[in-house]
Structure 1
Amino acid sequence: MPKLPPDDGDLSAGLDERGWSLLPALMDRGECEDLRALYGDETRFRSHVVMAQHGYGRGEYRYFSYPLPPLVERLRRRLYDLLLPTANRWRRALGQEEFPGTADEFWRACAAAGQARATPLLLKYGTGDYNRLHQDLYGEIVFPIQLAFLLSEPEEDFTGGEFVLTEQKPRMQSRPYVVPLRRGDAVAFAVNDRPGRGPGGYHRLKMRHGVGEVRSGERYTLGVILHDAA
């Protein structure tokens, strides 16, 4: 099981300061390989998306169906607990209602709003594939932080394929970030809006994420989104 550290301040500080935070070496090689192997088992998934058919880029991904694989289920629950304090601090700053205290309460709220489909997914990129900048919004309820786990080793399994983020401040040009990931690393990042402090108080900073072009090989990622889909 991935070893999630307690938030010693670095996680929340990174999220507050730039909208993302790197969590190194959360998965070992065996866990990454086990998750990659699931991609070929169609019975695990509720849908298969070929990005080029929708203008999303190139590559493909599959959304897990419920029940989730045990590792993904445990990981998702622990991530909710870990990220909840930051998520609720952001909600308060933006004048929004706080999220429930437990993951089960949160997912019941999603279901009551018509969002009952699983959102964790595996993504597969080959040579020449990429993912356009986007936001993973699936309904009215949006947990503001999600994670991506790199399951392949750069320079060994693939080249290129950098994880990228952009931040849009009001009336300013976008700021880009390139996040350095190795196999087993995760990046926690803002799904959509996050609070930024200005002279007049808090304002909304809009984030988008994507993947640069893979120059060679294959790149696999586990995406862990905490809100369910309509």
Structure 2
Amino acid sequence: MKATGMRTDKPDSVPYDWAEIERSLDAHGNVVLPRVLRPEQCAHLAALYARDDCFRSRIVMARHNFGRGEYKYFAYPLPPLLHRLRHALYPHLAPIANRWNRQLGIDVQYPDELDVFLDHCHRAGQTRPTPLILQYGPGDYNCLHQDLYGEHVFPLQVAMLLSRPGADFEGGEFVMTESASNGQHAEVIPLEQGDAVLFAVNQRPATSKRGGTRKVAMRHGVSVLRSGMRHTVGLIFHDSR
């Protein structure tokens, strides 16, 4: 599902219809935010991947059976654009996350401000930043997974496509699956350069046939890249151990 909204000259303010976004998240566990980043911002972020001074670690997926490709976790301080986006999105997402937890019977409520939540993470030993850039080449893919990292997990996250489908790369679609007691299904979510997909990290509530609440387990990944190079930024709101 795509959310509608007018982009301003400051895309990090993400001026979207948040009531519609909430409805889509409830129904599907994901929603696309169009044109969160401008092309020049995408190019700037993708170019950071070649640098070492911005990052705390590099992961080669094949070494850990995560798939093929690689990614780098940013170090603090984050690039200013990502810092602003992370802080701009979180206040809209915390009320949704709190309602989901109440529906699922989870006794965790998230504070209104990201810095307060990150302080909770850091007090629990989760001090390492989790925003990252992923890089895929021909034949690369990302296995279905969940980005959990520790005791304190924020249940929504964002992936932003930096590359141009059909120009910079072919294949490499963003894929989500959900599993529940009534079955499983997969969804391919089309993205254009600068689009962000907002999605459930782990699980979401859904209405059962009897009118109660059932738990739906979510996973995400990337299909095989057929050609070219694909870069994506992941914004995760909890930090890791």
TM-score higher than 0.5: yes
Kindly provide the amino acid, as one letter, of the partner of residue 220 in structure 2: H
Distance 1:205 1:76 in 2: 25
Contact 2:18-2:92 at 8 Å conserved across structures: no
Distance 1:53 1:182 in 2: 30
Deviations 1:64-115 (A, max 9, x none): 0111111111111111112112111111111222101211110011111111
Q: Which residue of 1 aligns with 2:240?
A: 229
Deviations 1:137-188 (A, max 9, x none): 1001110000000000000000000000001012x33210000100000000
Q: How does 1:181-200 map to 2 (within 5 A)?
A: 181-198=191-208, 199=210
The percentage of counterpart residues that share the same residue type is: 52
Aligned pairs, how many? 229
Q: Is 2:19 the counterpart of 1:22? A: no
SS of 1:215 mapped into structure 2 = strand
Q: Which residue of 2 aligns with 1:137?
A: 148
Q: Which residue of 2 aligns with 1:163?
A: 174
Kindly provide the amino acid, as one letter, of the partner of residue 116 in structure 1: T
Q: Which residue of 1 aligns with 2:213?
A: 202
Q: Is 2:85 the counterpart of 1:83? A: no
What is the CA-CA distance between 1:56 and the residue it aligns to?
A: 0.5
Distance 2:16 2:220 in 1: 25
Kindly provide the amino acid, as one letter, of the partner of residue 38 in structure 1: L
Correspondent of 2:123 among 109, 112, 117: 112
Distance 1:136 1:157 in 2: 26
Distance 2:44 2:207 in 1: 42
Q: How does 1:19-98 map to 2 (within 5 A)?
A: 19-96=29-106, 97-98=108-109
Q: Is 2:21 the counterpart of 1:11? A: yes
Kindly provide the amino acid, as one letter, of the partner of residue 216 in structure 1: S
Q: Which residue of 1 aligns with 2:227?
A: 216
What is the CA-CA distance between 1:20 and the residue it aligns to?
A: 0.2
Q: Which residue of 2 aligns with 1:101?
A: 112
The TM-score with structure 1 as length reference comes to 0.97
Runs of at least 5 residues in structure 1 that lack an aligned partner in the other structure = none
Deviations 1:2-31 (A, max 9, x none): 240244422111110010001111111000
The TM-score with structure 2 as length reference comes to 0.92
